[in-house]
Amino acid sequence: MILALLLAAAAPPMVVVDERSVTRQEVPPHGAIGMSTAYRISDAVPDRTMEFRKRALHVGAAIGEHVIAHDEVYYVLSGEGEVISDGTRVTLGPGMAAYLYSGAKVGIKQVGTQPLVLIISYPLPAKPAH
């Protein structure tokens, strides 16, 4: 019980982020293919250990293929996309997720007539110990 209280006391307070406060229009990463709306949710969180973002890939846009140095998840909220991992292509729709492994060459592109809205999450590199 005492240990649980000590651990709870050591945690920083939660951070609540309204996506409207962190939204911007930008080209998608890894190739600047098309345009997107980026919801840079975790950017507003101090001392975070993971990235959590929402991105709407506009019609014709893509996050270009790139090698990842961590596991990563693409979770589709709406629209359709084609995810690629080491040459394997799969079409994703709402409620589908692609779990991508460290070392893979990955990317995702919007397909269809509606924007592809997805959540992207992955761990950040560990901070060096002082």
Instruction: Find residue 37's DSSP bridge partners.
Output: 25, 56
User: Does residue 15 fall inside a structural domain?
Assistant: no
pLDDT by residue, tens only, the chain of 130 residues: 555 555 556 888 999 999 999 999 999 999 999 999 999 999 989 989 999 999 999 999 999 999 999 999 999 999 999 999 999 999 999 999 999 999 999 999 999 999 999 999 999 988 766 6
Q: Rounded to whole angstroms, how far apart are CA atoms 94 and 74? A: 11
Task: Please give the model's pTM, rounded to 2 decimal places.
Answer: 0.87
Task: List the structure tokens of 129.
Answer: 């110990």
Indicate whether 111 belongs to any domain: yes
Place of tokens 């709406």: 78
In a domain, 116, yes or no: yes
Domain hosting residue 54, numbered range: 21-73+93-121
In a domain? residue 37: yes
Is 14 contained in some domain?
no
Tokens read off for 75: 């979770």
Residue 39, strand partner residues: 23, 54
**Looking at the 3D structure of the chain, how many domains does it have?**
1
